[in-house]
Amino acid sequence: MNIKKTVKALLIINGLQFVAAFLLWLVIGSQVLGRVNPAIYLTIGIMLLSSLLTIMGLYMASRYQNDSYRESMKNLENLNLKLRAQRHDYMNHLQVIYGLLELGEYEDAREYMEPVFKDITRVTRAMKTSQPAVNALLQAKMESAEKKGVDMIVEVGTPLKEIPLEPWELCKLLANLIDNGITALEEKEGEKKLAVEIRQDSRFYTFAVRNNGPAIPEEHQALIFKQGFSTKKEEGHGTGLAIVSQIVKEAKGEISLFSDEKETRFAIRLPR
């Protein structure tokens, strides 16, 4: 959904309805008051009510956009702090590694380098698109997954330069899919894996989010994209995948789900 286009359309509709209703009201009130069928008044009332609802729609669209902007800015600020911290630490890491190599402690140097290299690689993988908000979101989600013991891997094969979605819409889509995967792994014992793949071909942008959590029962798969449906008893669930489905639908894309005992996979295709 393009928020700017939606707001523009709503403004035009609202303006036309208000002007028409106001003119009718003036004509009826000044010339033929008392001789007009009540249905005319009802029609005018409905038009005015429609205008009011349109104004409310504008407010909600603006609020949604502002919330998305704030979330994206927060993620960008966190990514900037992360990069600054890494740059500051590079020299310290290099000094430690150099010292260990000078002492001939090659195994210790290798063990020291592993987490440092992993940290650098994680940030690098999240910064392969041309969408700063998406890069920041992926970085934030990787850190969130790590804190919950989830090994999250990101593979980006496209810069997403011409994707037909606003950045905040794309962030909403990815954030809800990733959060859903992390939640699915919360109660899993043993290794927890989550993979995010972003690619494109000549016709489509494709997004896939996979996790090795428990299988989604077949009877739930047809309902999982419905508003309010959730397998969790706690409040606050049941909206994320519905939001994803709505965004995909408005972008004229497709979403699919595959789930068995080994893997659950959500796949999305958006036309280029």
CB contact at 8 A, 264 and 211: yes
**What's the pLDDT band for 1 if we cut at 50, 70, 90?**
very low
Q: How far from chain centre, in Å, is Cα 244?
A: 8
The listed range with the strongest mean pLDDT (5-19, 81-95, 185-199, 227-241) is 185-199
- Mean pLDDT, the chain, whole residue set: 78
CA distances (Å), origin 25, targets 22, 33, 151: 5, 10, 64
pLDDT in tens, 142-188: 888 988 999 999 988 898 988 988 888 898 899 999 999 999 998 89
Rounded distance between C-alpha atoms, residue 265 and residue 195, angstroms: 9
Domain 129-271: assigned CATH number: 3.30.565.10
CB contact at 8 A, 205 and 163: yes
Q: What DSSP assignment string belongs to 118-147?
A: HHHHHHHHTT-SS-HHHHHHHHHHHHHHHH
Rounded distance between C-alpha atoms, residue 194 and residue 172, angstroms: 18
Q: Find the range with the poorest average confidence among 16-20, 202-206, 247-251.
A: 16-20
Q: Find the range with the poorest average confidence among 31-40, 65-74, 228-237.
A: 31-40
Domain ranges of the chain: 3-65, 129-271
Tell me what pLDDT residue 17 has: 65
- The Cβ of residue 160 has, within 10 Å, a number of other Cβ atoms equal to 19
Q: Find the range with the poorest average confidence among 24-33, 129-138, 152-161, 228-237.
A: 24-33
